Structure 1
Amino acid sequence: MTRVGAVGFDLDGTLFDHHASARSAAVHFLGSLGVVSSDSTLESWFAAERQHFERWRSGEISFAEQRRERLRSVLSPLGVHVPAGDVEIDDLFSEYLRAYESSWRAFPDARPLLQSLRASGHRIGLLTNGAEAQQLAKLRRTGLLVEFDVVCTSERIGFSKPDVRAFAVLASELGVEPGACLFVGDDPMKDVAGARAAGMQALLVDGEGRRELPIGESIGSVIAGSAGAR
């Protein structure tokens, strides 16, 4: 096992509490439309988010269109009128977006963890499949941006997780070989399988915050194991 010299992170569900932020925003947004946010309604919301975000990530539709499709998928079956025009539906989505942005939050342990890793001499990187402008805005709002040596968004580098080329870019920008990088994320395929296929060590965390062991302790165990390896 190669000694860990850098740690890469996913953002949403790993350092940034997307689920809590989006859930709070969806409850507010749907309530403004007269819809009671039941468990099934919220599951439909998140299912549409996953489906159409992946369509954008694969290049099938534009970023704006994946937002429109999310509203069409969820609101029409609930009997809520969805505007036909792009401008009007974009205006409707902006109401959700304002609620989402006002709910943005990092996990409480995120910034102290990054600061601790930096203090111990590790390079710190981010690799996210999100859109450049929005992901950077999240990092600024939560105070995380200043903690990273490298920020790689799929939109900027041209590759998305789990493509091994995305992880290769991260390692290159961090100035380490892939084997000297530990990648931490909440998706078993995009984050963990992708990182391992690229030659990195990987750690899976709970994306909805139900963490039996703090991320820092888990990362520390991996780093300690790599330091003791010969």
Structure 2
Amino acid sequence: MLFDAAGTLFDLVPPIQDVIASTAACHDHPCSPACVERALGHVGGTLGWPDDESDSVGRTRAWTVFARRIIEEADLPAPDAVLQQIAEEAAATILEPANYQVFPDVAPLIKRLAAADIRIGIVSNFDDMLFDILDHTGLSTLFDTVLTSYRTGISKPDPRIFHLAARAIGTDVAATHYIGDSVYSDMGGAHAAGLHGILIDRDGKHSTYSGEKIVSLMDLQLDLDR
């Protein structure tokens, strides 16, 4: 069984939109988290996410630029120097591994999979910051393989990264389940690769998705105890 990482196994707490909104409020320029969330969706969807940086300096720079573009898209009225400071502080929060928390349904499922001797792995569009987050959250020792877009040079939804991961855990593609929270990169890639894709929709954002969908990992209907 393979998993996406952010949004599936763990997430930033509070989420990015709240980080940016609260940072702006601390500088006396309040804005709505909902407005920032809309800006985040547009910026991330058009420019992509800064998830393939080679080092901490590059990550800080890329995430600062990303946060600044979100702030500008949200049309926050503030002087340029203040906007830059908000972006830098928000980026620092986003890049702190201690600010990421594992979803409560992850540990019970992993325990069940381990008891059934099911090999598991992660396939994620991420750079090496992922390994810092996995170390901090205690997930790093629980997975048999972790493949990232940065280390493989292949990004989801490219089917090749899913094939590499299935090979790494020693399973046939057709017998491999993949769980992720993105319809495009996770489900699109998993299905193109011939895996059994299952969308996890914790917040009910994908009501029109017609494929297999769950709201919690505890909802998985897998015959693991045979």
Alignment TM class, shorter chain as reference? 0.7 to 0.9
| Aligned twin of 1:74 | 71
Q: Is residue 108 of structure 2 the alignment partner of residue 121 of structure 1?
A: no
- How far off its partner does 1:71 sit? 0.4
Query: Aligned pairs, how many?
Result: 211
Aligned partner (choices 179, 197, 200) of residue 202 of structure 1: 197
Task: Report the CA distance between 1:66 and its aligned residue.
Answer: 5.6
Query: In the TM superposition, what is the alpha-carbon distance from 1:192 to its structure 2 partner?
Result: 1.3
Q: CA deviation at 1:137?
A: 1.6
**What per-residue deviation string (whole Å, max 9, x for no partner) do you get for residues 52-80 of structure 1?**
66165699xx7534641430442483122
Q: Distance in 2 between matches of 1:165 and 1:171?
A: 10
Matches within 5 A, 1:21-40: 21-40=15-34
Name which of structure 1's ranges 120-129 and 168-177 shifts more when overlaid on structure 2: 168-177
**1:108-159 CA distances to partner (integer Å, 9 max, x unpaired)?**
1112222221221100100110222x21122122111111110111000111
The alignment's TM-score, normalised by the length of structure 2, stands at: 0.77
Q: Cα offset for 1:215?
A: 1.2
Q: 1:27 to 1:43 in 2, by over 3 A?
A: same
Distance 1:34 1:205, change over 3 A: same
Q: Which has the higher helix share?
A: 1
Identical columns (%): 26
Structure 1 residue corresponding to 2:219, chosen from 217, 220, 229 = 217
Deviation at 1:203, TM superposition (A): 0.6
**Distance in structure 1 (CA, Å) of the matches to 2:45 and 2:160:** 23
Task: Give me the whole-angstrom Cα distance separating, in 2, the residues matched to 1:11 and 1:104.
Answer: 11
Normalized against structure 1, the TM-score is what?
0.76
Q: CA RMSD in A?
A: 3.3
Give unmatched runs, 5+ long, in structure 2: 206-212
CA gap of 1:73–1:81, structure 2 versus 1, over 3 A, is farther
Counterpart pick for 1:135 among 130, 137, 155: 130
Matched, 1:174 2:169: yes
The reply on whether 1:159 has 2:154 as its aligned counterpart is yes
Deviations 1:5-26 (A, max 9, x none): xx10001111112474324422
Alignment of 1:55-74 (within 5 A): 56=50, 64-65=61-62, 67-74=64-71
Aligned-residue offset at 1:30: 1.7
Structure 2 vs 1, CA of residues 57 and 21 (structure 1 numbering), >3 Å: closer, same or farther? closer
In the alignment, is the contact (CA less than 8 A) between 1:52 and 1:67 conserved in 2? no
Contact 1:13–1:206 (8 Å) recurs in 2: no
Amino acid paired to 1:189 = Y
Q: Does 1:110 align with 2:111?
A: no
Higher relative contact order (CA 8 A, sep 6+): 1
Structure 1 spans left out of the alignment, 5+ residues: 1-6
